Structure 1
Amino acid sequence: MPYSQPTPTLPVRTLGKTGLEVPVLCVGCAPLGDMPDTFAYSVSEERALQTIRAIFKSPITFLDTAASYGDGESERRIGIVLKELGGVPAGYLLATKADRDLQTGDFSGDQMRRSVERSLRLLGLDRLPLLYLHDPEHTTFEKAMAPNGPVEVLQRCKEEGLIEHLGVAGGPIDLMTRFVETDIFEAAISHNRYTLLNTDADAFWDVCQQHRVGAVNAAPYGSGILAKGPRAYPRYEYGAASQTYLEQAIKLEDACQRYQIPLAAVALQFSLRDPRIHSTVIGMTRPERLDETVKLAQTPIPEELWNEIESIRLS
């Protein structure tokens, strides 16, 4: 079956100084690596492959994975489909991340090169279009920036043509801000820190804008609570949600139900409507979730509901 560039049905934005044009939605491929300890559910290889094949026919032309997702399993599964297709189809952008050794915790420059080389091998690619330094909170800023350390080695990989664009993806906002302010990185991912329940990354998007760094917001559903609902899935950022988050999420869900608008649509569009954010990453594990997510992104939301959401958020 021939694969051609999809008809664009999503707005696109320029990903900072990378110059890459990306859709406002990005498919997060972490759960496709089968990570039950993180997500509290498992994803079989068959279902993952079906989902990946569907992604490459969808209008969501931006994919995000990492070496650590299933310790290579997400990349391996994507690589199987890429081999079927003869490479990444035209019009699609695949991003991955260089990681520490999950067994030993090694976060050295040498480990970054090993991570890059394994990603290339598992994905079946000669070059990684966009690669992020991943989870630098597992080392220190000083060690990451040291001579022959992780950042310098990734820069060298870029000079060698193994990486086209270099970004940074992590958790703690203060640490992420320090990396962005070096002006080394072209894109940055923050996760679980710009949602209806937590806006710790608010000032971070301003820093990204000031440094022309592509801004990518991951996990606007707080890893599930704002998609499935707090009563059905009382978890935030891969663990049990706090009582404060639960109570606020219930108020948000009740407000949405009064307007007959899915909580997931409001949670997603909270990120999409922020002009500082170039793309928003949503994890998906079933082919039907692609169309569902596009519909959520395009669901009309009355201003009255947004006003009510804001009052609950700020209370």
Structure 2
Amino acid sequence: MKTLGSTGLTVSSVCAGGSGLGSMPDVFGYDVSADQAVEVVLRVFDSPLTWIDTSNGYSAGESERRIGRAIREYGGLPAGFLVATKVDALGNDYSAQRVRDSVAESKERLELDDLPLVYLHDPEFNVFEEMRPAVDALQQLRADGVIGHVGLAGGNPAELGRYLDLGGFEVLLVHNRWTLVDHSAEALIERAVSDGLGVVNAAVYGGGILANPAGATKYGYLDAPDAVLRAVADMDAACRAHGVDLATAALRHSVDNPNITATVVGITKPSRVDALEKALAADLPAELLTQLAALLPDRQYWLEG
């Protein structure tokens, strides 16, 4: 268990990711039924994981609805369990009123009065100069006691840095930019830690390629460059030679980083919870870690933005 920056919240080193729970076949390539999603959340509740990450915008709110149903069927949240969600725009609307509406919608879907952590989600897709009202609104909701703590979640390190300059954020969530094959967020993560923020790392499998090296060809939702594909293949071979699967190494690359408080891992099957527990207990040889570090692709092949 770790303390999440200056929030005082105590969390497990792995957070269950809820993006797929609402079913996103266009993104993940498969459907997830409502019953399966609820079964996953119920399994998470009975596991060592102490929190789950979702968003107002995941499947138009369906992820939150299914998590809310699981909470109801469980008879309420387990003691000490935390649900983190995110504020999302509606179309092109990322106004102060939209921020307030998004939080209210999340509370209704999740059937929770207490939202201990709410992120501003993917603000880099909007005009920075027009986003200050949304930032101020979210932080005012914290001041008014409507939410607990305020986080910032996105991908583009340079743009996220501009938002951190505004101040007031307590947690940084970054995705696809700190993995075995991409260190784009290294400076941003170090800056966040220096500023006292808790750091949460997401998409450590790069959208699937580091969990399914034989079948996936995209990294961060884009076609992976040949240099990345070669690195993944070489990393997979190195892991196999040491009796370790690549997905375990990809997870531990994040979990074992002292600057990262927690790692978000998408879970859409109950069996994945058991696999996570096994990966966290695995012994990774020092020789393997050295080999993997040497195989990191050149910076020109990282996502950066």
TM-score, structure 2 normalization = 0.95
Q: How far, CA to CA, are the matches of 2:252 and 2:107 in structure 1?
A: 34
Moved more, 278-287 or 220-229: 220-229
Picking from 298, 301, 309, the partner of 2:284 is 301
What is the one-letter code of the residue matched to 2:180?
L
What is the one-letter code of the residue matched to 1:105?
N
Contact 1:28 1:63 in 2 (8 A): yes
User: Which residue in the other structure is 1:133 paired with?
Assistant: 120
What is the one-letter code of the residue matched to 1:221?
Y
User: Which residue in the other structure is 1:188 paired with?
Assistant: 172
Contact 1:127 1:161 in 2 (8 A): no
Q: How far, CA to CA, are the matches of 2:157 and 2:93 in structure 1?
A: 23
Q: How far, CA to CA, are the matches of 1:314 and 1:243 in structure 2?
A: 10
Matches within 5 A, 1:15-34: 15-34=4-23
Aligned-pair CA distance for 1:268 = 0.7
User: Which residue in the other structure is 1:224 paired with?
Assistant: 208
Matches within 5 A, 1:236-251: 236-251=219-234
Aligned-pair CA distance for 1:281 = 0.5
Aligned-pair CA distance for 1:175 = 1.2
Matches within 5 A, 1:155-304: 155-229=139-213, 231-304=214-287
Q: How far, CA to CA, are the matches of 1:239 and 1:195 in structure 2?
A: 15
**SS of aligned partner of 2:287:** helix
**SS of aligned partner of 2:35:** helix
What is the one-letter code of the residue matched to 2:138?
L
User: Which residue in the other structure is 1:64 paired with?
Assistant: 53
Picking from 67, 91, 100, the partner of 1:78 is 67
Structure 1 gaps of 5+ residues are: 1-11
Q: How far, CA to CA, are the matches of 2:101 and 2:210 in structure 1?
A: 36
TM-score, structure 1 normalization = 0.92
**SS of aligned partner of 1:193:** coil
Contact 1:265 1:296 in 2 (8 A): yes
Aligned-pair CA distance for 1:118 = 0.4
User: Which residue in the other structure is 1:4 paired with?
Assistant: none
Contact 2:11 2:50 in 1 (8 A): yes
User: Which residue in the other structure is 1:110 paired with?
Assistant: 97
User: Which residue in the other structure is 2:303 paired with?
Assistant: none
Q: How far, CA to CA, are the matches of 1:27 and 1:267 in structure 2?
A: 16
What is the one-letter code of the residue matched to 1:177?
G
What is the one-letter code of the residue matched to 1:217?
N
Matches within 5 A, 1:42-61: 42-61=31-50
User: Which residue in the other structure is 1:313 paired with?
Assistant: 296
Contact 2:16 2:267 in 1 (8 A): yes
Deviating runs (4+, > 3 A) in structure 1?
Answer: none
What is the one-letter code of the residue matched to 2:107?
L
Q: Percent identity?
A: 40
Aligned-pair CA distance for 1:168 = 0.6
Q: How far, CA to CA, are the matches of 1:142 and 1:284 in structure 2?
A: 36
Aligned-pair CA distance for 1:312 = 1.2
Aligned-pair CA distance for 1:314 = 5.4
User: Which residue in the other structure is 1:119 paired with?
Assistant: 106
What is the one-letter code of the residue matched to 2:155?
G
Q: How far, CA to CA, are the matches of 2:166 and 2:280 in structure 1?
A: 33
Q: How far, CA to CA, are the matches of 1:294 and 1:309 in structure 2?
A: 22
Does the C-alpha gap of structure 1 residues 238 and 42 become closer, same or farther in structure 2, counting only changes over 3 Å?
farther
| CA shift digits 1:233-284 (9 cap, x unpaired) | 2221234322221111011101111111110111111111110000000001
**SS of aligned partner of 2:113:** coil
How many pairs align? 298
Q: How far, CA to CA, are the matches of 1:106 and 1:40 in structure 2?
A: 28
Contact 2:231 2:297 in 1 (8 A): no
Contact 2:86 2:119 in 1 (8 A): yes
